[in-house]
Amino acid sequence: MNTLIKVENLSKQYRLGVVGTGTMRDDFTKWWSGVRGKENPLLKLGETNDRTIIGNSDYVWSLKDINFDVQQGDVLGIIGRNGAGKSTLLKILSRITAPTTGSVKIKGRVASLLEVGTGFHPELTGRENIYLNGAILGMKKNEITKKLDEIIQFSSVERYVDTPVKRYSSGMYVRLAFAVAAHLDPEILIIDEVLAVGDTEFQNKCLGKIKDISGEGRTVLFVSHNMGSVQNLCNRGILLNNGEVLFDGSSTDAVTAYVSSAINFNTSNYIEIQKEHKNSGVLSEIEVKSLELLEGFQYNQYATNDPMTLELALFGNQSIDDFRVAFGIYTLQEEGVASHFSDPKFSIKKGEIKKIRLKINHHQLAKGQYYFNFAIGKGNEETGVREFDLVMKTLFFEISYTDVDHSKGIVMWDKQGWGSINLQNVEAIEM
């Protein structure tokens, strides 16, 4: 066994809020304690990074006392919910930011792909960008020249290789960028979610390439929300939760631990309604039988611009005309975010099963995890309501991307400060 990465007591503290005069006071405190040879008092502050709890401190530990080793040939999947500390860990391992305490020891050449096409310059041609991107990722010029034909062929954009990349479609751009990255020859490869881009054919090509790389005895660290590919590619998994290692073991066990750790967050997109979802105060003239989220990305993830479609299957215990379907969207802290009451235009016969599709075209929800409540009944917020059936806390989903092809994860959204709705349809006009 040859240990290539050794992570020891790694912690990272972040300051929340904006940089202002208060920051200067803290900097002074830090400096003054250093001058007197004392421990920085600010390091005693801070709390675990649980974004669901309102904190009291300006400081938060994004990672706290992380310890693990990576052996040569390991393909390690790092999983966890948004804000669990995955990105921070990758940033430290890629030497983009330094830890607050602790250390990481690394053997061998590291290449990290936290984004495809890092440093691409829109005005330069594809060929020029291959050199630029390759050099940024740590390749030597003659190495790139040697692999140039292979890279161009892998990207399958031969025809456009002498065109500025600003004229590329986003698919071509990603292909070219991944082609460069795939031809790096590092001993350790760090990858963040890059597989969630491009069409299926290209994704398979990428997965295949990563398999090849790991087959050659290289070490791969892989962060993903895609449990399928973690299970497929990795032999080992680490589950992070609120900045701490919750589980370290085989990738299959890690995925299982992830799914069950999300106690509130049920990732299935089809739910048959059981007793526990029901509100006992209703007479069930109409019953909700099942709920389904259609077109959701894996584990019910959506982009900020994705339309969302759900389907309700209703069963009529009595014949009822002119009823409506209403739903509310809530955060995991059970705060209401939005509601909708449909027109009273549905009717159902006794013994009939009726399917109703709800299409939310422009949801405007900010990054985060949410769930639905449903109410089948009559009346609305003006007239007063009478419900036939109420279904609570079902269909969990997550907004985690900014774009439709799920390549750009949302970096941060401070819900406390910015709320749950990210208004899209706003015009700012200079008068």
Closest CB to another protein among 107 and 378?
Answer: 107
Residues 6 or more apart whose Cβ sits within 8 Å of residue 151: 130, 134, 144, 179, 180, 182, 183
First CA to last CA distance, the chain: 68
**Shortest separation between residue 79's beta carbon and another protein, angstroms:** 21
Q: Which residues pair with 10 in a beta bridge?
A: 66
List of residues contacting another protein (CB under 8 A): 2, 4, 14-15, 19, 23-24, 27, 72, 91-110, 112, 114-115, 118-119, 121, 123-124, 128, 131-132, 135-141, 164, 187, 217
Q: Name the one residue in this structure whose structure tokens are 């900014």.
A: 402
Residue 113 C-beta: closest distance to another protein, Å: 8
Judged on CB neighbours under 10 Å (0-12, 13-18, 19+), 270 is: exposed
Nearest distance, CB of residue 410 and another protein, angstroms:
15
For residue 226, give both structure tokens.
């895609």
| Residue among 141 and 345 whose Cβ is closer to another protein | 141
Using the minimum distance from each CB to another protein, give the nearer residue, 89 or 291. Answer: 89
Structure tokens at 43: 């390091």
Nearer to another protein, 19 or 426 (CB): 19
Query: Which position has the token pair 């799920």?
Result: 406
CB of 86 to another protein, least distance (A): 15
By residue count, the chain amounts to 431
Angle at 173 between CA 196 and CA 221, to 5 degrees: 40
Nearer to another protein, 124 or 246 (CB): 124
Q: Fill in the amino acid letter for 302.
A: Y
List the structure tokens of 365: 């929800």
- Least separation, in Å, of the C-beta of 16 and another protein? 11
Shortest Å distance, C-beta 231 to another protein: 27
Q: Whole-number minimum distance, CB 10 to another protein, in Å?
A: 9
Task: Answer for the pair 208, 239: CB distance below 8 angstroms, yes or no.
Answer: no
Q: Of 142 and 280, which CB lies nearer to another protein in the complex structure?
A: 142
Nearer to another protein, 184 or 376 (CB): 184
> For another protein, which is the closer residue by CB, 166 or 349?
166
Q: How far is the CB of 294 from another protein (least distance, A)?
A: 34
Rounded to whole angstroms, how far apart are CA atoms 128 and 118? 14
CB closer to another protein out of 71 and 331: 71
Burial (CB < 10 A; 0-12, 13-18, 19+), residue 124, is middle
**Amino acid letter for position 237:** G
Burial class (CB in 10 A: 0-12, 13-18, 19+), 383: exposed
State the SS3 of 206-248: HHHHHHHHHHCCCEEEEECCCHHHHHHHCCEEEEEECCEEEEE
CB of 19 to another protein, least distance (A): 6
